[in-house]
């Protein structure tokens, strides 16, 4: 029997997010600079056993290991594209909050695709692998490589990877799930409505000067998400008030927010201070890249 394979499913953080408009088919077009955190879930694949999924970990409560789980959906879709695909039993250790705007489920699905690709000798840049990722969910393609880059369209347009400077961050989730569909619905855009033109990769240069540019950007989903989950206002206010905070912003469709600091000592101290006053919140100091 082949040895088990393990990979991390790192949290995705939208450093900014622009809504460019809504297509005639109803999908919203976005442009977002994405980075990945040093924290995430862990997924293990035991080859040679019947396809199955077990889930454990501090954030596993309420998750079902059924056909709706993105790990199994990704596997079954890849099996259709690669007849005779070798699979096995998955075990997920869930550490990231769900419905949180940091791509936890998408990262897990991408992790499953990476493990299956390794097991079956499928190249990481195989076009079919990318097609399957896009078929599972909008954030899955960018999570395949888990590298900082600009993503656009409905998630299928990926720019080249960017080398960002060290971004010392604190991630915070108040324990409130925010439904992505509800946030987009609250935007109230009509089919075919356009809001802005894409800026493109050149707006971020080579990544080294990303912070000044981020200070001039925002997350267009923050306003509707804050109306649906007013606690996001408190999260952002508390992050902004922490010593050394450069700026605070919501990630994705929320409710997870992040703040950036100049060094790891400042971010660690800020996380410790916030966790003390809000012990029920998920608070993590991490490095984004």
Helices marked H in the chain = 70-81, 104-120, 127-136, 140-145, 180-187, 210-215, 222-228, 231-240, 264-277
Asked if 139 is an active-site residue, the reply is: yes
**Of 77, 79, 69, which Cα lies nearest the Cα of 120?**
79
Q: What is d(CA 131, CA 118) in angstroms, rounded to the nearest whole number?
A: 17
Of these residues, 41, 139, 220, 284, which one is catalytic?
Answer: 139
Q: What is d(CA 147, CA 37) in angstroms, rounded to the nearest whole number?
A: 10
DSSP at 95: -
Q: Is the CB of residue 262 less than 8 Å from the CB of residue 168?
A: yes
Asked if 12 is an active-site residue, the reply is: yes
Contacts of 46 by beta carbon, 8 Å cutoff, 6+ apart: 4, 88, 89, 90, 91
Which residue is listed with tokens 């700026």? 247
Q: Is the CB of residue 42 less than 8 Å from the CB of residue 107?
A: no
Q: What is d(CA 4, CA 46) in angstroms, rounded to the nearest whole number?
A: 5
DSSP at 201: G
Q: Is 90 exposed, middle or buried (0-12, 13-18, 19+ CB in 10 A)?
A: buried
Of these residues, 12, 16, 41, 284, which one is catalytic?
Answer: 12
Q: Which residues are catalytic?
A: 12, 139
């Amino acid at each position: 029997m082949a040895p088990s394979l393990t990979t991390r499913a790192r949290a995705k953080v939208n450093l900014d997010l622009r809504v460019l408009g809504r297509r005639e088919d109803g999908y919203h077009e976005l442009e977002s600079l994405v980075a990945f955190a040093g924290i995430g879930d862990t997924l293990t694949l035991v080859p040679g056993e019947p396809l199955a999924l077990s889930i454990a970990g501090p954030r596993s409560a309420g998750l079902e290991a059924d056909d709706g789980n993105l790990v199994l959906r990704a596997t079954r879709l890849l099996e259709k594209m690669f007849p005779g695909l070798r699979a096995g039993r998955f075990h997920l250790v869930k550490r990231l909050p769900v419905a949180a705007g940091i791509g936890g489920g998408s990262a897990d699905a991408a992790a499953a695709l990476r493990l299956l690709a390794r097991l079956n000798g499928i190249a990481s840049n195989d076009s079919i692998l990318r097609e399957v990722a896009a078929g599972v969910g909008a954030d899955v393609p960018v999570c395949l490589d888990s590298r900082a880059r600009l993503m656009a369209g409905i998630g299928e347009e990926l720019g080249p990877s960017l080398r960002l400077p060290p971004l010392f961050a604190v991630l915070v989730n108040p324990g409130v799930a925010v439904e992505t569909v509800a946030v987009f619905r609250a935007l109230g855009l009509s089919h075919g409505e356009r809001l802005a033109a894409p800026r493109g990769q050149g707006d971020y240069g080579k990544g080294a000067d990303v912070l000044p540019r981020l200070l001039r950007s925002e997350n267009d989903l923050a306003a509707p998400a804050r109306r649906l989950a007013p606690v996001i206002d408190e999260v952002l206010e508390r992050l902004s008030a922490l010593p050394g905070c450069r700026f605070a912003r919501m990630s994705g469709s929320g409710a997870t927010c992040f703040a950036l600091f100049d060094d790891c000592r400042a971010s660690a101290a800020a996380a410790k201070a916030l966790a003390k006053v809000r012990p029920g919140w998920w608070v993590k100091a991490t490095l984004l890249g």
